[in-house]
Chain A
Amino acid sequence: IAGITQAPTSQILAAGRRMTLRCTQDMRHNAMYWYRQDLGLGLRLIHYSNTAGTTGKGEVPDGYSVSRANTDDFPLTLASAVPSQTSVYFCASRRDSYMNTEAFFGQGTRLTVV
């Protein structure tokens, strides 16, 4: 099924643990994004990648890292989770970053850090 897939759908994580949120798309989109969604703050960009092999920092990158080894995958890693990273995380993709193209979103990962 064409689209964008995130895993896991939800996770409870102990503070201090390392965690990788997975994101895979099969649409051959060049641009991919990670957002966190918090009540009252809306969607905020964590990191982005305009094309395989490149990444950039968004609005709230601290405590997170990403990699883009290939076109399809864009994992988000929390090196040492803290309770303030409790949020819903959305991965998104677009065909290209510089064109007016539709954005596709994953189903989200609900992360609770305790």
Chain B
Amino acid sequence: KNEVEQSPQNLTAQEGEFITINCSYSVGISALHWLQQHPGGGIVSLFMLSSGKKKHGRLIATINIQEKHSSLHITASHPRDSAVYICAAHPNTGNQFYFGTGTSLTVIP
């Protein structure tokens, strides 16, 4: 059983499209993290949120604690956004993350 589920697994979009990646979790959490991994590259933290919404440039992350759901949105997508996006839940108890298996995004020029 996966405590964190992401959808879709793979996503292809045209440049300029609005993109949404979803994350659902089944455990009580203290925070939800969104991570980005470029092909062959390291992992970078994009957002850490425990309520509401955060925005950084063209990226927006939202979380609904009651529904145990978070979304990552990318506005005006660009080929450089092509990467794997990983959702990670930090549970209320314990100190280890539960990771989703990632969403592979490809933005075509």
Report A's interface with B, CB cutoff 8 A: 31, 33, 40-45, 48, 50, 58, 90, 92, 97-98, 100-108
Is A103 a contact partner of B95 (Cβ separation < 8 A)?
no
Q: Which residues of A contact B48 (CB under 8 A)?
A: 100-103
Is B42 a contact partner of A48 (Cβ separation < 8 A)?
no
Is A90 a contact partner of B43 (Cβ separation < 8 A)?
yes
Please, which residue of chain A has its CB at the minimum distance from the CB of B46?
A102
Report B's interface with A, CB cutoff 8 A: 30-31, 33, 35, 41-45, 48, 50, 86, 88, 90, 95-97, 99-102
The 9 sampled A-B contact pairs (Cβ below 8 Å) are A42-B100, A42-B102, A43-B88, A100-B90, A102-B45, A103-B35, A103-B97, A105-B43, A107-B42
Please, which residue of chain B has its CB at the minimum distance from the CB of A44?
B99
